[in-house]
Structure 1
Amino acid sequence: ANALSKKKKAAPTALLQDASGTVGRLYGARTTPHMFVISPKGVLLYAGAIDNNRSWDPSTIKGATNFVSQALTEAMAGKAVSKPLTRPYGCSVKYK
């Protein structure tokens, strides 16, 4: 995970590798990626897609709404998440 983050010049604040699929099953992850925002108390605040842009073309990302960022911003401001559930997109998760 650290090598991938370095390669992509990413700065994740939290990362869970769930090789067994235990946590994915608990939260109902169906696609990769399937994003979840969980409060410090363990309450699920957001579940769904990263954004509203299904395209893999980086040039189309600029106008996308980032649902995860929006949920984090609202939650950290003490507000209810305005869009707590969206439809995730991506490849299906293959559990063992």
Structure 2
Amino acid sequence: MKILLVAASAALLGLASVGAASAYDGTNCRAPGNCWEPKPGYPDQVAGSKYDPQHDPMELNKQSESISGMEARNAQRVAHFKKTGEFVYDVKKIPAE
């Protein structure tokens, strides 16, 4: 009888914790999975506010410059490989034409 009472109370405790965990998570969801909400005081429009990152165009351009340099080096490697059949990784070691 005592074992049955312990098992029943454990089952009730388990069911109560499942119900409490799925009841409210502190957000107001517009749709299932769409639960983002701004903190109080966060502006509706970020542009022009103190949260606007204002990225420097020169900093943003660094990656595109490095990618174009990489593509130029790869083009030299491929051209040398097509001409000689030998792949040379270091572009400086490719003989000038």
If the length of structure 2 is used for normalisation, what is the TM-score?
0.18
Higher helix share: 2
Normalised TM-score (structure 1): 0.18
Q: Which structure's CA Rg is the greater one?
A: 2
